[in-house]
Structure 1
Amino acid sequence: MRWLLLAILACLPFAGLSQDALVQDGPATLVADRIAFDAATLTAEGNVEIFAQGRVLRARRVTYDRSTDRITVEGPLTLLDGPDRILVADYAELGADLRGSVVAGARLVLDQQLQIAATEVATGAEGRYTQLYQTVASSCEVCAAYPVPIWQIRARRVVHDREERQLYFENARFEVAGVPVAWFPRLRLPDPTLERTTGVLAPRFSADDLLGTGIEVPYFITLGPSRDLTLRPFVTNQETRSLGFRYRQAFDAGDLLVTGAVSRDEVRPGEMRGYVFAEGVFDLPRDYRLEFDLEGVSDDNYLLNYDITEKDRLDSRAAITRIDREDRLLAEIITFDTLREGERNRFQPTPVITIERQRREPRAVLGGDLVWTLQAHARRRKASTVPEGGPDDAARDVERMSAALAWQRTHITAEGLVLTGLAGLDLDAYSVRQDPDFADDTTFARAVPHAGLELRLPLGKGSRSGARHVFEPVAQALFVPSDVKRTPDEDSLTPEFDEGNLFAVSRFAGRDRRELGNRLNVGLSYTRFDPSGWQTGATLGRVWRDRDNEQFRDGTGLDGTASDWLLAISAEDGDRFGVESRALFDDALDFTQSETILGWQGARYLLETRYTWLEEDATAGRPDATSEWELDAAYDLTRDWTGRVNWRYEAVTNEASRAGFGLTYRSDCVTVAFDVERRFTSNDDLDTSTRFGFGVDLAGFGADGDRTRRRRCGI
C-alpha cells in the first residue's frame, strides 16, 4: 500500500524538510510502499518517489535525517532534473530540495544523447554547477560484449555549468575504440541542449590535385541572439592558405547572409583570390519589399577550384517589389559578370534596369478579367563599337517603354464545353543605339494586337476499382498580325516549348519578341487518379500556322508552319516514385529535344536521374548536340553504412564531365563521411582535378546522431 507523505507532513513536527527550499507551487511529495519514522529520521522503502520543484527522485530506499536536513538514497536510483537531465547512480546524499547532492557510482545523461559516467558526482546547493570525478563521456551505446564505445573522452574532472550549458574537462583524453588519439589539459564543449555557442566546429580534411592536402577548421562566433559569424581557415601542404567566412543576421523586418573567402595558392601564385556573395530580404513600409543578391569573384576559375558553385555567369540583383491580390510592382537592376571562356564583360548587357507595374482589375470588364501592364526597360553595354568579326548586337544599347492589355472571358455550356475568349494589345516604343541593323531607324514603335477563342471539353469517368480518368481535348485559335515592325531581341533568345506554354499567347519569355501570325494550338491530355495514390498523365500537342514568320530557330521545335509534336508523360506515387518525360519530334520521329527525369525513393535507397537530348543550336550557344546523363543515388549498404554515387556523362563526346563516390557511417553517436569527386572538364586556365573529403561529427557536441539507429555490438 502506497503512502502519500503530503498527509504525514501535515501531522509531523519535522515534516517541513527545508520549507523555503521546497516551496514552489506546493510542498514536496513522497510516495512509497512502506514508511517508518521516529523523532529523528524518516525511512521510505519500496518504489520510492519524491517530487520537489519539478525534480523527481526514484529509488529503492530513502532515509531523511532531520538533524542534518539531508536525504540518503540507496540505489539503484534515478533523478530526473528537468526534461533533458537524468542522473542514474548507486548511492546519493542530497539536500531536502534534491539539490546539493553527493552521488557515488553515477551516470549523468544529457538530452538523451550524452552520457557521463563518474565515480562521484557533487552538485552545489544552488544547483548551477555539477562536478564529476574520474569520468568517461560518450554518446555511444555500450554493448555488453563490447564495453568499449566507438569514441569516449576520459577526464579527471568534468564541471557542468547548467546555466551556461557548458562542459569543462580537466586532463582530458580522447579515445577511439579505446585507443588514445589526443590529450587536452583543458577542454570546453557545449552540452547537447545548447543550440548556439562560440567555439570550434568539426574539422574537415580534403585532398585536391590543384590545392593540395589540407584541413579546414571552422570557428563559430555568436554575436548576440540574432547574429553570428563562422570563420573557415583552410591550409594545405601546397601553400594554399584560405579564410572563408559566413555572416548571418536576422532583423525584425528581414535577414542578411554574406558568404565569401580570401585565398592564396599555387594555382595563381602571388595573387590574392576570393569571392563574396551577399543576399538579403527586408520588409519596407506600405508592404514594399527589398531584395538583393550580390555576387563577385576575383577570377574565372576560383569558384570551381574551391568547389563553391558551377555558375559560369554571375548575376547581381537588387529589387523593390510589392505584390498583393490585385497588383504587382517591380523595380530592379541586374548586372552580369561572365566567367565563360571566350566571353568578355564589356559585351555583356550591364546594367539591366526594369520598372514594371501590373494590375488585375478587381471588377469584371465586359464580363471578363482584364490585366494591364506598364514597363520601362533599359540595358547598356560598356563596348561602344562592334568588334571585328563579332555579332552586330555586341555593343547594342536599348531602351524600351511598353504597355499591354490582356482580357479573357470564360463560359461553360450546359454540355460541359468550356469556351474562353481572348483579346489583347501590346505596345512598345524603342530606342536602339550602336547596332548596324538599326542605324537608319533608331527610334520606333510597335503594336501587336491579338484575339482568340479556346475550346476545352473535360471528360471524366470512374471505374469499379475507384480509379478516375479525365480526358481533355483543347483547341485554341489565335489571330495575330504577321507584318509587324522588327525589333531587337534582348530578352527572348531561348524560347521554350512545353506543356506549360502549349496554349500561351506568346512563347517568348520576354517582351522584345511577340509571337506573330495566325495559328491553331491543339492538345489532348489524359490523367488517371488511383485510390492507392498513383497518378499518371500524358499530354500530346502541336501548333499549326498559316505561314512561317521565321521567328523561331531550328532546334526550338517551333520553326516552320507546323511545330514539332510535343509529348509529355508523367507518373507519380506520392514521394516514393516520380517520372517525367518530355520530347519534341517531327513527323519522321526525328527528335529535337528530349528530357526524362526519374526519382525513386525507398526504405534503403534514393535515386534521382536525368537524361537530356538537345539538338545543336549555335545561336543559343550550343554548336554541338547535347546528350547528357546525370545520376545521383544513395543506398543503405548495411544498418549503419550508406553509399553514394553521382555521375554526369556526355554521350556525344563519349566522356564524363563529373563523377563522385561517397561512404557515410552513421550511428547513434558518430557520423563519418568520406567522398571523392573527379571533374573531367578543362580549358586553357582550368585543369581536370580530383578532390577527396573526410569529416567526422560527434553526436552530443554540435551534431545530431541518428537516435533510431542503435549501435550493434561492434562497429
Structure 2
Amino acid sequence: MLAVSALALSVAPVVAAQQAEADKVYLEADVLIDNQQNQEMIAEGNVVARYGDRQLSADRVIYSLDTKKVRAIGNVRIQDPDGTVRFSDEIEVDDTLGSGVAAEFSAQLPDNALVAARTATRTENGSNMLERAIYTACDVCEENDYTPTWSLRARKAVQNAETGMISYQDTVFELKGVPIFYMPYFAHPDPTLERKSGFLFPKPGSSSKLGFVYEQPYYWAISPYQDVIVEPRIHTKVNPTLGLEYRKRFWSGSLTADLSLAYDYEFDSNGDRIQYDQNYNVIEEPENFTGPLIPSEESLRSHIFAEGGFIINEDWRWGFSAERVTDDLYLRRYDISGENEKRGLYDTEQKRLLSQIYAVRQTKSSYFDVATFSVQGLRPGDDDDEFGVVTPLAFAEQNLDFGKYGLVTFQGLTSILNRAEGDDTRRVTASAQWENSYVAPAGLIFEPQAKLRTDYYDYYLEGTGTTDTVEDRTTRNVGMVAATARWPLINRTSFANIYVEPIAMVAYSESSIENGTLPNEDSTFYEYTLDMAFEPDPFATSDLIETGTRLAAGVRSRADFNNNLSLNGVVARRWKSEDDDSFSRASNLSQTESDYLVGSGLSFGNVFSIESNFRLDEDFTLQRTELRSSLEYWRLQAGVTYFELSDDLSDSQIRNIGSEGIQIQGAFDVTKNIKLMYSQIRNIETQERRREAIGVEFYDDCGFIRLTWSESDISDRGVGDSGALKIAFGLRTLGNLAGDQFD
C-alpha cells in the first residue's frame, strides 16, 4: 500500500504551478491513483481533502481534472469554517469543497442542532436546498428505536446563507414522532446566527381579570449593538396593550427600557369597569349600591421601567433609572412584572417606584456618590407630593491608613429634600473617625474608636392643627468614644472544630442638640438587629443618634463537625444610660435595655440548612421570629421562610407586610423529565394568599413545556381575587414561548 501525505493537487491543471497556495486542494490518503486516461486522481483509504479552512473526509475520493469536481463516496464528512459538519453517503462538490449535490445528507449545526434530508443541493453562496428534510435540536442516539423529543418534517427546506434563515414548506411538527400540527410554511433563524429579526413564539394564557390572553412578540435586531421586542397583547375581556423592550450597548455601558401602553378604563378582578361614588371611592359591589355611580373613563395608561449604566473612566461611572406608572394598580391589572427589581444605585420598598440619576467615584481608599431621585407610591393613601424630591443626596468617604497607628476615615453627607406639600429639609454632615485594633498575648482583641461629627440643618416644618410652622437653621455637634473587646477561642478536636467568641462593646456620646428637636427623615423605620449588635454607632450618618453611655455584650460560636454538620449561634443585648422616646418601640432602642437578640443556624453540607433570628423582651416573650430553611435531597428541592411580629412592633403595619407570614417554594422531580413545582406567599395574620402557584414541567435536553396556575386573594381598591393560567414552552434553537423560570 502506498502512503501519500500532504500531497498538493492544483485546482487548475496540475502543471499550473503558478496558482496561489489558497487555490489548492490538499489530499491525504493511504493510496493515491493517477488515472491519466480518464483525467482523474483517485484517493482511497482514510482520505482527507482540504481547501482553505474547509475539510472533507471519506472512504474514497475521485477528483476530475477536467470538470474540477470532487466526488466522495462512503462515510463522507465535510467540516465548514463556521463549525458546521455535513454528512452524506455520497456527495459531489466543486473544487472548493463547497457547492454540490449529496444523497442521504445530514448536517450537524451549532448548539447541537441537526438537519437531515433525502437529497441536498448546495449552491455557491453556501445555501442548502433540501428534499424530505428533518430538523431537530435534540441529542440523536444511534439506537434504532430512538425518536427525538421534537422534530420538524418538511417536504422542502432551504437553509439560506444570505438571510440566515431556514425555511420549510409543508411542515409537520412532531412530538416523540407523533404529528401535532401542520404548517404550510415555517421559518426560523439558522443556529449559526447570534440573533435575527422575526416573530418569536406567541405567549398564550388565561386570567380572571383579562380573559384569554394572546401575545405575539416580534424581535427586531436593529444593529449589532441594539434590539427591540414589540409585544402586542390581546385580551378577550379588556382592551389590548402594546409592550416594548429596548436594549442598547455602548462602548462605555448599556441602556434597557421596558414599557407598555393601554387605552382602557380601570377594571376590577373580573375585568368589569370600576364604578365610583360621588367622592370617588371604589364601589366593589355596584349592583348593591343605591346612590349615583361614576364609571371609570377610558384614557391612555402606561408604565416604564428603564435603567442605564455607563463608565466614564477608571474611577468614575454614572447611571439612571426610571420607574413610573400612570395608575397605582396598572401593573397589577395587566400582570406586568419587574416592579421589585433593583435598578440604579438606590433601592426602595415594595409598592414604591424610584426614579434616579447618579454618579459614583471609587478608588482603593475613597468613595463618592451623588444622586437625585423621586418616589412614586402605589399603596392606598400614598400621596406623591408628601414623598418629595431629593436634590441631591451626596456621600463621600476618604480612608487614611496609618498602619499600626490606626485607620482614619473622613465622611461627608449632603441631603436636600423638597416636598410640594409638607416639610422641606436640608442637611450637611461632616465627620472624622479613628479606629485601631490591638491583639494581646492571650489572643484578646481590643478595638478602640473615636468620632467627631457636625450636622448643619436648614429646615421648614409645616404646621398642623396642633403645631406651628417652624423654619430654622441650626448646627448639631456630636462626639463619641468607644471600645470593643473580642476573645476568639478555638478548640480543634478529632471530630470537630469549635469556635467561641465572647464580645463586649462600650461607648459614650454627647450631642449639642437632643433627638426630637430636629426633623427625622432617614431613621423612621430603623431597627437594631444582630447585623449591628456590637456597633458603637449603628446609625452612622442619620437624623437620630444615640447619646450617653451604652454597652453591648454577647457571644458568637460555631462548631464544624467532620460529617459536614455545622452549628452556629449568637446572643446579644444592649444597655444604655437613659430612655429615648424619639426611637420607636420597633427600633429596639427606645428603652435603657434592648430586647435579647438570638440567632442560630444548622447546616448539613448542601443537603439541609436552617437559620433563625429571634427577638425576645425581658420576660423572654417573642417579639420577632424569622426562620429560613432549605432542603435538597434526592429529587426534592424546597425552601421555607417564616416571620412573626408582635403587636408592639407597629411599624410592620406601616411597612404593609403584616405581622405573620410564610413563603414556601418547592420542586419534586417525578422522573428525570417531569417536575412538579409549588410556591405560596401567605399572610397568616389575615389568612390571605398573596400568591399561590402550582406547576408541572416536562423537559429534556432540547426543550420544555410548563403549565402554571396561580391565584391571589389580595384585594386593593377593587382589584381583588384573581387567577391565571400560564403556558411556558421552549425548544432549543427555536426559542421560548415564555420565561424559562417558575415564578
TM-score, normalised to structure 1's length? 0.89
Match of 2:279 in 1: none
Match of 1:379 in 2: 417
**1:102-160 deviation line (CA, Å, top 9, x unaligned):** 10111222125322221211123x45222212322222456767676543333333222
2:246/2:257 contact within 8 Å kept: yes
Choose from 472, 481, 486 the match for 2:510: 481
User: How far does residue 48 in structure 1 lie from its aligned partner after superposition?
Assistant: 3.4
Match of 2:600 in 1: 569
Match of 1:396 in 2: 423
Match of 2:35 in 1: 38
2:497 is aligned with 1:468 = yes
Match of 1:387 in 2: none
2:714 is aligned with 1:681 = yes
Structure 2's unaligned 5+ residue stretches are: 268-272, 274-296, 341-349, 738-743
User: How far does residue 291 in structure 1 lie from its aligned partner after superposition?
Assistant: 1.8
**1:214-249 deviation line (CA, Å, top 9, x unaligned):** 211111111111111111111122243111111111
2:183 is aligned with 1:205 = no
Distance 1:75 1:318 in 2: 66
Distance 1:505 1:150 in 2: 62
2:644 is aligned with 1:613 = yes
2:418 is aligned with 1:419 = no
1:151/1:175 contact within 8 Å kept: yes
2:481 is aligned with 1:454 = no
Distance 1:165 1:22 in 2: 31
User: How far does residue 292 in structure 1 lie from its aligned partner after superposition?
Assistant: 0.9
Match of 1:191 in 2: 190
Give the 3-state SS of the residue equivalent to 1:223 in structure 2.
strand
Match of 2:740 in 1: none
**1:247-297 deviation line (CA, Å, top 9, x unaligned):** 111111111111110123462662222101111112235732212111110
How much identity, in percent, do the aligned residues show? 23
2:545 is aligned with 1:514 = yes
Choose from 136, 139, 144 the match for 2:137: 139
User: How far does residue 17 in structure 1 lie from its aligned partner after superposition?
Assistant: 11
2:663 is aligned with 1:630 = yes
Match of 1:316 in 2: 355
Choose from 322, 327, 331 the match for 2:370: 331
Distance 1:13 1:559 in 2: 92
State the AA in 2 paired with 1:349. G
User: How far does residue 352 in structure 1 lie from its aligned partner after superposition?
Assistant: 5.3
2:503 is aligned with 1:442 = no
Match of 2:691 in 1: 658
Give the 3-state SS of the residue equivalent to 2:299 in structure 1.
coil
User: How far does residue 423 in structure 1 lie from its aligned partner after superposition?
Assistant: 0.9
Change over 3 Å in CA distance of 1:659–1:19 after alignment to 2: farther
State the AA in 2 paired with 1:6. A
2:11/2:95 contact within 8 Å kept: no
2:390/2:415 contact within 8 Å kept: no
**1:29-73 deviation line (CA, Å, top 9, x unaligned):** 3223x4444323343444433343333333333333333332222
State the AA in 2 paired with 1:345. D
Match of 2:396 in 1: 357
Choose from 309, 324, 346 the match for 2:385: 346
User: How far does residue 524 in structure 1 lie from its aligned partner after superposition?
Assistant: 0.8
Distance 1:23 1:532 in 2: 65
Give the 3-state SS of the residue equivalent to 2:531 in structure 1.
coil
**1:535-559 deviation line (CA, Å, top 9, x unaligned):** 5421111111222223432233333
Match of 1:179 in 2: 179
Distance 2:576 2:101 in 1: 90
Change over 3 Å in CA distance of 1:304–1:173 after alignment to 2: same
State the AA in 2 paired with 1:540. V
Match of 2:460 in 1: 433
State the AA in 1 paired with 2:639. E
Change over 3 Å in CA distance of 1:533–1:247 after alignment to 2: farther
Distance 2:374 2:407 in 1: 36
Change over 3 Å in CA distance of 1:26–1:43 after alignment to 2: closer
> Which has the larger displacement, 305-314 or 142-151?
142-151
Match of 2:741 in 1: none
Change over 3 Å in CA distance of 1:199–1:18 after alignment to 2: farther
Change over 3 Å in CA distance of 1:477–1:148 after alignment to 2: closer
Change over 3 Å in CA distance of 1:332–1:339 after alignment to 2: same
Distance 1:525 1:435 in 2: 47
Distance 2:207 2:657 in 1: 31
2:433 is aligned with 1:406 = yes
Change over 3 Å in CA distance of 1:147–1:539 after alignment to 2: closer
Match of 2:100 in 1: 101
Distance 1:303 1:270 in 2: 17
Match of 2:677 in 1: 644
